[in-house]
Amino acid sequence: MKLSALAKGIEAVIVSIEDEDLSVKLYEMGCLPGEKVKVENIAPFGDPIAITVSGYKLCIRKQEATSVLIKLDISEGN
Amino acid sequence: MKEIKVALVGNPNCGKTSLFNTLTGLNQKVSNFPGTTVDKKVGHFTIDAEHKVKIIDLPGTYSLYPKSDDEAVTFYGLCSHENKDIPDVVLFIADASNLKRNLLLFTQVADLGYPVVFALNMIDLADRKGIEYNYGLLQSRLGVEIIPTNARKMKGLDRIKQAILSAHRSSTAPFFETTGLNQSMLEECKTYLSLNNSYSAVLWAHNQMLLFKDGEQLKKFKEILARNLFCEKKEQVEEIVARYRMIDIILKETSKRKASRNQISLSNRLDTIITHKYFGLSFFLLVLFVIFQAIFSLASYPMEWMEVGMNYFSNEVEHIIPGGTLNNLIVHGILAGLSGVIVFIPQIAILFFFITLLEDIGYMARVSFIMDKLMRSFGLNGKSVVPLISGMACAVPAIMSARNIENKQEKLITIMVIPLMSCSARLPVYTLLISMLVPETYLWGFLNMQGLILMGMYVLGFVTSLLSAWVFQKILKPAGNNYFIMEMPAFKIPMWRNVFLTIYEKCRSFVFEAGKIIVAISILLWALSSFAPAGEFEKLDAKYKELASAPTKSAEVLAAEYQSEKLEASYAGYFGKMIEPAIAPLGFNWKIGIALITSFAAREVFVGTMTTIYSASGDESDFSSIRLKMIEEINPLTHQPQYSLAVIASLLIFYAFAMQCMSTLAITYRETKSLKWTLLQLFYLTALAYLSSLLVFNFLK
């Protein structure tokens, strides 16, 4: 499933990032495979979204979130 | 005394600026990094009798893989061999509440071989989050001295100073082993660039475009990389993953997470309100309302004092210096230009007070967040909102505040459209023209018609700026990374020291940089209106000498008429008549032509010039005399009133769109560093004004 489809308040784990250009930026911002994510806020017009990852809050557009693959089962993560 | 060069490096939002300000106080200088518009802050402080420090604040970055101009500057500062300020020591500052992401950059800097002093900031925040560190262990794992700091409470400063003296290279093995990479390529790079650090060879390979301006050198370097099948993106990703794996291990050993007392932090709770669908937007409107009101109402007092002060000063000077051209030049050229500069200071100071304050507490990131989608559809960015709104007060500080937009294209579009927002200098012009357009009547008994039209002018400016942004977006090719990935820092209590230092710095740079250009143009305009083609003034003087000897009118009326005819005879009048054929299709005569030329100094000069031309009495705030004279004027060709509905409407539209502000042009040039964009701004706005006025005039005629 994609991060853009994750409902607010639900925790998930990042599996991979599909877009190679984007992955350098997202990786350095701490969005790594195995990392837990949670959607915290959604902007008034429905986009962008604010997520918690690596212990801080990050804003990304829905467009970027479609490149982030996640899974809901957090037990297998680290 | 020995000078130690220190570079201050860290992530954005980790308290870097606060630490810099606390270490250096007012002992700092801001300039630009060569060839960029990125602020370069250099400060000085002393450690002891033998050692002083020159500290450079490098822009905040998340890694040494730069993605913006700012980040590229940090990369240059640490890696370029052409950099004369290559630091002796790196002072690294990290946010303790979010150490994992901060350590990525630290491990890169340490692997470059710099002696590092590690300032661990925001410990109180980490504490509240329930994070505890074993400092001794963390110190030995990172191989550098770690100093807990709190820039807000000036804690840890002495220890930082001592640590700079004893700083050493990280005593651990490299955090990222370059042994797993293509060794022959690294060796080739190292030899070619004469480096001895392997990791810096890696970074040069990744950022080749940034390091070589010379085409031949770059070509050769690229050949080395291509021969070795160097794959940039893949290797960057692998390196980042490897570094984070290492960081995870270190943090697992050295930090503990207690169950924090309040699971949902105050900052998070604030965010649910501030980014809320309805409440968030209303709150934002309220913030704008307060800023707008403050700029309009609060700034008017100091502006008035400054005007009064400058007038008094000009008068004194006028009497002290012997009369003649020099006196005239100083009073009406230089001093008038200077007062045009300093009169903006209150607005700039108040605007930047709010912007810096909101930035400091973390609200600006939220504004970008909630407005991004709306602004994006016009080719702008969430961060364009505040500059645009500020443009309603004055385009000068508004354009300066567009600096916060990282995406170059979105920043450029924002700067290009800001002058369309109706600024406060248009207000006197609108007021005069609207009062000629409609009498002071009320719609449905309570809606002031003049007020309604005035509001319409503001709405017109706002809508046009969004539409122009949309057009620019369609014309310009998207440049660079078009993503929006932004840290949303936790809310903080503001540091007043930072706020006031920023205000001081913004005002200073406005006065010294834009000020120069404004004064120069002011002198030019002065020359245009005080000199005439040979013989013109002499003829005029003779004529009035004769009139004065046999007075038919009072001396005051004669003096006013003399000023009016003098302006007509001057070069300004000459040019006004020269452009008359060009502006006649808009319904303007040469008198308006003169006003158009002189109001290039500032739009509100229109009223003053019209007053002189119609030799009306009264000051600028009293419109009744000039209004009457303009309304009564009859067009000699049509025998109809000169200022018909069509002419006034056309003039209103012209003032709404035209680029008639040398200060704005000066600041656009300063911010874009490009003559091309500055001229384009001048031309597209003038063309827009001309065509719209042409349409309006012919439609209403």
List of chain A residues whose C-beta atoms are within 8 Å of the C-beta of residue B370: 43-45
The dihedral built from the CA positions of residue B307, B308, B310 and B311, taken in this order, carries a sign that is positive
End-to-end CA distance of chain B: 78
Angle value at C-alpha B345, between B339 and B347, nearest 5 degrees:
120
CA separation, residue B503 to residues B233, B351, B476, B508 (Å): 41, 9, 33, 8
- A24: nearest CB among B65, B370, B373: B65
List of chain B residues whose C-beta atoms are within 8 Å of the C-beta of residue A25: 67, 481, 483, 485
- Please indicate if any CB of chain A lies within 8 Å of the CB of B265: no
Note whether A21 contacts B271, CB cutoff 8 Å. Answer: no
Q: With cut-offs at 50, 70 and 90, classify the pLDDT of residue B214.
A: low
- Say what the pLDDT of residue B495 is: 85
Note whether B372 contacts A40, CB cutoff 8 Å. Answer: no
Displacement of CA B91 from its chain's centroid (Å): 28
Q: Model confidence over B397-409: pLDDT tens digits? A: 889 888 777 778 8
- B233: nearest CB among A24, A32, A40: A24
DSSP state of B114: -
- Say what the pLDDT of residue A78 is: 44
Q: Where are the beta strands (DSSP E) in B170-312?
A: 255-257
* Cβ B450 vs Cβ B384: under 8 Å: no
Q: What is the mean pLDDT of residues B93-111?
A: 94
- B237: nearest CB among A27, A42, A43: A27
Distance from CA of A8 to the nearest CA of B (A): 11
Note whether B244 contacts A30, CB cutoff 8 Å. Answer: yes
Long-range contacts of B424-428 (CB under 8 A, 24+ apart): B424/B295, B424/B296, B424/B347, B424/B392, B424/B393, B424/B394, B425/B394, B425/B602, B425/B603, B425/B604, B425/B661, B426/B457, B426/B603, B426/B604, B426/B655, B426/B656, B427/B604, B428/B604, B428/B606, B428/B607, B428/B620
Q: What is the mean pLDDT of residues B516-525?
A: 75
DSSP state of B491: P
- All CATH 3.40.50.300 domain ranges in chain B, comma separated: 2-166
Specify the higher pLDDT residue, B259 or B534: B534
- The secondary element (H helix, E strand) that includes residue B106 is helix B99-111
Structure tokens that stand for B144 in this block: 């550098």
- The secondary element (H helix, E strand) that includes residue A39 is strand A36-42
CA distance B413 to B399: 11
Per CATH, the homologous superfamily of domain A3-71 is: Ferrous iron transport protein A (FeoA) (2.30.30.90)
Specify the higher pLDDT residue, B475 or B552: B475
Kindly tell me if the per-residue pLDDT of A69 is higher than 70: yes
Amino acid at B523: I
How many beta carbons lie within 10 A of that of residue B347, not counting itself?
A: 25
List of chain A residues whose C-beta atoms are within 8 Å of the C-beta of residue B485: 25-26, 29, 58-60, 64
- Please indicate if any CB of chain B lies within 8 Å of the CB of A66: no
3-state secondary structure of A53: strand
Closest CA to B206 of B72, B101, B70, B82: B72
CA distance A28 to B6: 25
* Cβ B133 vs Cβ B50: under 8 Å: no
Question: Which residues touch B188 (CB under 8 Å, ≥6 apart)?
Answer: B224, B228
- Please indicate if any CB of chain A lies within 8 Å of the CB of B483: yes
Q: Model confidence over B334-388: pLDDT tens digits? A: 887 777 677 778 877 887 888 889 888 989 889 889 989 988 888 888 888 878 8
Specify the higher pLDDT residue, B505 or A49: A49
**Average pLDDT of chain A?**
89
Note whether A48 contacts B104, CB cutoff 8 Å. Answer: no
- Please indicate if any CB of chain B lies within 8 Å of the CB of A63: yes
DSSP state of B173: P
Q: Where are the beta strands (DSSP E) in B527-579?
A: none
Note whether B233 contacts A21, CB cutoff 8 Å. Answer: yes
CA distance B552 to A31: 87
Q: What is the mean pLDDT of residues B608-617?
A: 68
Specify the higher pLDDT residue, B394 or B517: B394
List of chain A residues whose C-beta atoms are within 8 Å of the C-beta of residue B365: 59
* Cβ B495 vs Cβ B360: under 8 Å: yes
- Please indicate if any CB of chain B lies within 8 Å of the CB of A16: no
* Cβ A59 vs Cβ B365: under 8 Å: yes
Displacement of CA A28 from its chain's centroid (Å): 13
How much of chain B exceeds pLDDT 70, in percent?
A: 93
Lowest mean pLDDT among B298-307, B381-390, B475-484: B475-484
Q: What is the CATH number of domain B2-166?
A: 3.40.50.300
- Please indicate if any CB of chain B lies within 8 Å of the CB of A9: no
Closest CA to B450 of B686, B692, B623: B623
Nearest chain A residue to B277 by CA distance is A44
Q: What is the mean pLDDT of residues B405-418?
A: 88
Q: Model confidence over B104-149: pLDDT tens digits? A: 999 999 999 999 999 999 888 888 888 899 999 999 999 999 999 8
CA separation, residue B180 to residues B114, B194, B235 (Å): 22, 21, 11
* Cβ B225 vs Cβ B232: under 8 Å: no
List of chain B residues whose C-beta atoms are within 8 Å of the C-beta of residue A21: 233, 481
- Please indicate if any CB of chain A lies within 8 Å of the CB of B488: yes
Note whether A44 contacts B486, CB cutoff 8 Å. Answer: no
List of chain A residues whose C-beta atoms are within 8 Å of the C-beta of residue B237: 20, 23-24, 27
* Cβ A36 vs Cβ A74: under 8 Å: yes
3-state secondary structure of B443: strand
Convert B518-556 to b/e letters by CB count within 10 Å (16 or more is b): bbebbbebbbbbbbbeeebbeebeeebeeeeeeeeeeee
Lowest mean pLDDT among B209-213, B412-416, B607-611: B209-213
CA distance B460 to B465: 9
- Say what the pLDDT of residue B620 is: 47
How many beta carbons lie within 10 A of that of residue B123, not counting itself?
A: 19
Structure tokens that stand for B446 in this block: 């309570």
Question: Which residues touch B85 (CB under 8 Å, ≥6 apart)?
Answer: B5, B7, B54, B56, B77
- Please indicate if any CB of chain A lies within 8 Å of the CB of B537: no
- Say what the pLDDT of residue B63 is: 93
Closest CA to B139 of B256, B9, B15, B250: B250
Structure tokens that stand for B76 in this block: 């240059």
- Say what the pLDDT of residue B634 is: 77
Amino acid at B221: F
* Cβ B47 vs Cβ B164: under 8 Å: yes
Distance from CA of B109 to the nearest CA of A (A): 14
- Say what the pLDDT of residue B687 is: 95
Lowest mean pLDDT among B55-69, B260-274, B347-361, B370-384: B260-274
- Say what the pLDDT of residue B618 is: 47
